Amino acid sequence: MNENEIYQNIIMDNVYDKYNYKILENSIYKKGINHNCGDELTIYIVYDNDNNNIIKNISYYGDGCYISKASTNIMCNLIKGKTKKEAMEYIKIFLKMITGDSISKEDMNLLKDAKALQNIANIPYRVKCATLAWNTLKQIIEE
């Protein structure tokens, strides 16, 4: 199996993984819309009761294309348990990668499964699909 096939499997596994596809009670949430494609996803986060700086849980709900669903699920898995500062760093690295900017090998490894989406940078009309959830989470954290 070559690298592209591995990445395709990671993407498809995340499209069909429904663990993070739910509405979280008592959460902070924001809806993100990609008008180009029709993706509409709401991101839900719950901060830790003892430390409002830690994202205790994160989920999403809504409709989107395979790229947006995979990217969102991967983001949820990556961000859960991270501090706001760590989450913002992951968002920054992901957005650089997905827009075609070079990132270090170390940063690429931090992204774990999200690196499966790196070739989206070569498909400009899909970049918004891949970044929708990440930009929506960034807005939640910044508010």
Q: What is the DSSP string of 78-95?
A: HHTT-BHHHHHHHHHHHH
**Averaged pLDDT for residues 59-68:** 97
Mean of the per-residue pLDDT values for the chain?
96
pLDDT band at 1 (very low <50, low <70, confident <90, very high): confident
How far is the C-alpha of 124 from the C-alpha of 134, rounded, in Å?
A: 17
Q: What is the pTM of this model?
A: 0.96
**Averaged pLDDT for residues 123-129:** 95
**Averaged pLDDT for residues 113-139:** 96
pLDDT at 91 over 90: yes
Strands, sheet with 28-34, edge to edge from the N-terminal-most edge strand: 28-34, 39-47, 55-63
pLDDT band at 3 (very low <50, low <70, confident <90, very high): confident
